[in-house]
Amino acid sequence: MNEDDFLEALFKRLPSPPPDLVIPPGDDCAGLRVGRGRLLLVAIDQLVGGRHYVLEGPGAAKPEEAGRKLLARNLSDIAAMGGRPLYCLTATASSPRRDARWLRRFFDGLIALAGEFGVLMVGGDLAVGIADDVASLAVLGEVGEKQVVRRSGARPGDLLFATGCFGRSVRTGHHLSFKPRCREGEWLARNGYARAMIDVSDGLLIDAHRLCRSSGVGLRLETERIPRRTPDTTLREALTDGEDYELLFAVAGKKEGRLREMWPFADVPLTEVGVFVACETPFVSDADGLSLPVEGYDHFSSFLGGIEGTTEGD
């Protein structure tokens, strides 16, 4: 059992969603109808010191970088729905290692990125004196109900495209400095290019598999085409390292040429990396049809590994 399964089991126990909840939990964001043809997008994510950034010593993140990353991860979820981020709320719990100066610098980084993306912080809660540094952020965004892109829209014959490069995100510092693909996601949604989309946080394979599972399709990855972050990044690293925060999206075959022609982001690589196929059971394989394992970064598995199957029981 992994985090997806735990949450899915949890959400299944909830009452039927009301009609205003157009996109129930299970996608990058939930989507609530708020009138005027708009959806409010909401998501929450957390950042743990020592896990999502190095706390001390060589490679330690600056407080500004940690704060920036907390918001950036969440903006990536809004990007994956084709939305525009608007507001955020933060809850931070800090260890005695951190003084007010550290916390202020943490928010400096967060607020600077918020300014770049036109996001306003509208609420906060602070707790201090706990053993670890844990910060949560809830993000609110919006998207037209007709524009929103879900994970479930990929069809057999669609092509899988990716923005940017993959692998070695932590080693290269990309995980602290990446620019969330909000611009790109919004453009893809507005212009009707993306039929399904997800952001790659846990690794290309895991997140591609999530797209397949939501859409009920298989995927043949052209693994050799996947852009790697550095010349010595291995294929395995590109597929499973995670923390790339790039977009993976399905494009109808007939729109491929137009997408390549119109893509306005000269600084962002756009690469076709696979094709979706019909299937009985969703899968991800390489171009030769060899099944690729669903591997990547799932911090939750080790915790729940020993008790699989107990969620519905006792």
Q: Rule CB under 8 A: which residues touch a second copy?
A: 1, 3, 6-7, 10-11, 13-15, 17-18, 21, 24-25, 29-30, 32, 34-36, 38, 40, 42-46, 48, 51, 87, 89-91, 93, 99-101, 103-104, 107, 111, 114-115, 120-132, 134, 136, 138, 140, 299-300, 302-304, 307, 310-311, 314
Strand order in the sheet with 84-94: 21-23, 30-33, 38-48, 134-144, 84-94, 120-128
Smallest distance, a second copy to C-beta of residue 297, A: 12
- Give 29 or 66: the residue with its C-beta nearer to a second copy: 29
- Give 7 or 278: the residue with its C-beta nearer to a second copy: 7
Would you say 64 and 112 are in contact if contact means Cβ atoms under 8 Å apart? yes
- Give 90 or 240: the residue with its C-beta nearer to a second copy: 90
CA nearest 158: which of 222, 226, 253? 253
57, with CB counted inside 10 A (0-12, 13-18, 19+), is: exposed
**Tokens coding 26:** 């299970």
Smallest distance, a second copy to C-beta of residue 284, A: 24
| Cα three-residue angle 138-143-149, rounded to 5 degrees | 95
Smallest distance, a second copy to C-beta of residue 292, A: 25
Smallest distance, a second copy to C-beta of residue 171, A: 22
- Give 58 or 313: the residue with its C-beta nearer to a second copy: 313
Smallest distance, a second copy to C-beta of residue 46, A: 4
